[in-house]
Structure 1
Amino acid sequence: MRIVVLLIFLQVHLKRIQGSVQEDEIQGSAQEDALHFLTHDDFHRPTEDAEVFLTEEDFRNGELLTSKSSNTSKFLTRQLFSHGDIRGKAAWKLKTRRKGARRNGVIAGIKKWPNGRIPYVLSGQYTERERAVLARSFQEYHKRTCVRFVPRSPLDRDYLYIGKIDGCYSDVGRAGGRQELSLDDGCMQYDTAIHELMHSVGFYHEHERWDRDSYIKILWQNIDRDAYDQFGKVDLSESSYYGQVYDYYSIMHYDSLAFSKNGLETMVARRPEMTRVIGSAINFSPTDILKMNLMYKCGHETIPDVVNSNSVPPIPPPPLLPPPTLPAVHTPIGSVRPITVEDEDDDCKDKTNLCWRWLDRCNSFFFEKIMKEFCASSCGFCSPKIPTAPKKSPEEVPPSYLTLG
């Protein structure tokens, strides 16, 4: 009997040992698989995302960066799920206030950064080159405006956390507390960085101005349905544009293919030659700089007095055409039929600013009639003009001896 019990005990013990060995083998295999998928970049990133600041060396490296003549901020409108680049409290307010409108530049003092001072902390995951790009972006604000990005102190409750979070996005103005600004892989280019930072300073997109319909035309039929809210309008009731005219050259303007679902243009300029200009900025326009200086009541020493290659002469004069010798930065894909603002019937217009909400009903059996009445332009019901020759009265018919043949 004792021998039987002893044998059973030995069998159970051996099974436990075998199970432990198999578990160790599985864990070892999993570790080997994990190591197989690791890249060199993974080892250069810290295991814990330490919060750091830019150094003097970063700013020196930023001055050495060569400027690119190409625009990379179009990545903002190609991000997955068509989220756009405004997130946080500002994005939540846009969803809940879509019946109204939002401002181009924030007005309320609570949304501005006191004295233009913006405390920040930086993720430790950025490479030396990426830190140089961010340093150069900061320096451009410091050079052109009185806005200052400064390392966060223990007394700063409201601050920017700049990190590789999820794509390229920012809140608008001062949101309160820790405020995320994401500049992930693919976002760390100069033009994209200053665009996102300008959101943090307090500005929405230029193409969302309340008066935008006088300057651009939105082609709703080409826009991804999930991105309709990226083409809302801003509120002009409180002089929120600081007295400045619409700026085709703004770094805050999206390009003509933004959030396209079919490769065709989603917005075109009322001045056809400006369609290739919108969204092509690689630096601030003079109007961008002027509006920031007016928002934060900066001194005259920061008011722009130079014209950049992608800019227009100082405001208030309206934007001029770029020099004819300047190559186009971006040539958008043309639509099937050349789009001009004169090819529609003058009487064929939207009768409401809310057509973007109901674009899915344009061809509905039940709603087509009312959509034709109120949203004819947005739904594409407008037919092109057919030029007709004026009828000549009898006295206008030329004598037969003046005609050929």
Structure 2
Amino acid sequence: MKAIVLMLVGIAVAAAAPVDNAADRDDPSSLEYGNLIEGDIEPLEGAFSGLLSTSNRWPGGVVVYKIDSSLSSTAKSRSLTAMQRITEETKGCIRFRQATSSDGSRFVRIRDRDSGCSATVGYWGRETRVSLSPRCSVGTIMHEFQHTLGVYHQQSRPDRDSYVKIALENVKSGHEHNFSKRSSSQVGTFGLRYDFGSQMHYSEYAFSKNGQKTIVPLPGKVPSGVKIGQRDRMSTNDVALLKAMYKC
């Protein structure tokens, strides 16, 4: 079996930018369509290794966080809900707690962002980031926290060409790099199938300049009833991936 979600090779985050076509406006993940790494992944200086290393996973599966006072009340409330849902859906495999003075700088800072939603990928023993605007939904914030836990986008995995075609001719100029594919030497694999229903999969219209699909599923690859680019809840494989990574 092919491995599912990709572990990051530098630290990643999801950021968003205004969108200007109808397909994006109707897309719940459009707030992640920025011009960072793969659109919504913020680089972290000094992060050169991928998350194949267990040292880049949060110790004990506990994400330590600090909420900035500048974060909107809406984003704060949704962040706390997103944390609770991840803990519930992973049946306690992943937990969250507020940082204390004894944590030093080893926490993820949840901060305000004028527009869009983004986060760094993985644990690095120093401060990382989740950046949120009041428009970020609970599901999108769950997506960002999965980046924090060390998960890359589904459509970036090394075997993606067996499942989708990237239609670069439909991608906004300057955003082509958001569809880079990771090599198997950069990402970890956990024997999970490609998951069109993952909360970490982008919409078929991500970064579209003309309302046409940029991620085109190959014939017969999408299971019946699966919504591509959903932000409603973690899929079965999203949960399985975190449990495999964090050994619980």
> TM-score normalized by structure 2?
0.78
Shift of 1:131: 2.7
- For residue 171 of structure 2, what is the aligned residue in structure 1? 223
Matching residue within 75, 83, 97 for 1:130: 75
- After the TM superposition, which parts of structure 1 deviate over 4 Å for at least 4 consecutive aligned residues? 80-83, 90-93
Bigger Rg, which one: 1
Matches within 5 A, 1:3-402: 72-77=28-33, 79=34, 84-89=39-44, 106-145=51-90, 146-156=93-103, 157-166=105-114, 167-187=116-136, 189-237=137-185, 240-271=188-219, 274=222, 277-298=227-248
- For residue 4 of structure 2, what is the aligned residue in structure 1? none
Shift of 1:129: 4.0
- For residues 205-250 of structure 1, the C-alpha deviation after alignment (integer angstroms, 9 at most, x for no partner) is 0000100000011111111232122111123358822110100000
Is the 8 Å Cα contact of residues 241 and 291 (structure 1) preserved in structure 2? no
Once residues 134 and 119 of structure 1 are traced to their aligned partners in structure 2, the CA distance between those partners, rounded to angstroms, is: 13
User: What SS class does the counterpart of residue 241 from structure 2 fall into?
Assistant: helix
- For residue 4 of structure 1, what is the aligned residue in structure 2? none
Hey, which of these two has a bigger chunk of helix by percent?
A: 1
Are residues 266 and 272 of structure 1, via their aligned partners in 2, closer, same or farther at CA, if it must alter by over 3 Å? farther
User: What SS class does the counterpart of residue 234 from structure 2 fall into?
Assistant: coil
Is the 8 Å Cα contact of residues 218 and 267 (structure 1) preserved in structure 2? yes
User: What SS class does the counterpart of residue 274 from structure 1 fall into?
Assistant: coil
Are residues 81 and 128 of structure 1, via their aligned partners in 2, closer, same or farther at CA, if it must alter by over 3 Å? closer
Shift of 1:294: 0.6
Residue type matched to 1:168 in 2?
Answer: C
Once residues 171 and 196 of structure 1 are traced to their aligned partners in structure 2, the CA distance between those partners, rounded to angstroms, is: 8
User: What SS class does the counterpart of residue 204 from structure 1 fall into?
Assistant: coil
Residue type matched to 2:246 in 1?
Answer: Y
Once residues 238 and 177 of structure 1 are traced to their aligned partners in structure 2, the CA distance between those partners, rounded to angstroms, is: 22
Structure with higher RCO (Cα < 8 A, 6+ apart): 2
CA RMSD of aligned residues (A): 2.7
Please identify, of 204-213 and 263-272, the stretch whose mean Cα deviation from structure 2 is larger: 263-272
Once residues 252 and 239 of structure 1 are traced to their aligned partners in structure 2, the CA distance between those partners, rounded to angstroms, is: 15
User: What SS class does the counterpart of residue 118 from structure 1 fall into?
Assistant: strand
Are residues 294 and 92 of structure 1, via their aligned partners in 2, closer, same or farther at CA, if it must alter by over 3 Å? closer
Is the 8 Å Cα contact of residues 71 and 282 (structure 1) preserved in structure 2? no
Quick one: percent identity of the two aligned structures? 30
- For residues 337-390 of structure 1, the C-alpha deviation after alignment (integer angstroms, 9 at most, x for no partner) is xxxxxxxxxxxxxxxxxxxxxxxxxxxxxxxxxxxxxxxxxxxxxxxxxxxxxx
Is the 8 Å Cα contact of residues 71 and 191 (structure 1) preserved in structure 2? no
Residue type matched to 2:127 in 1?
Answer: R
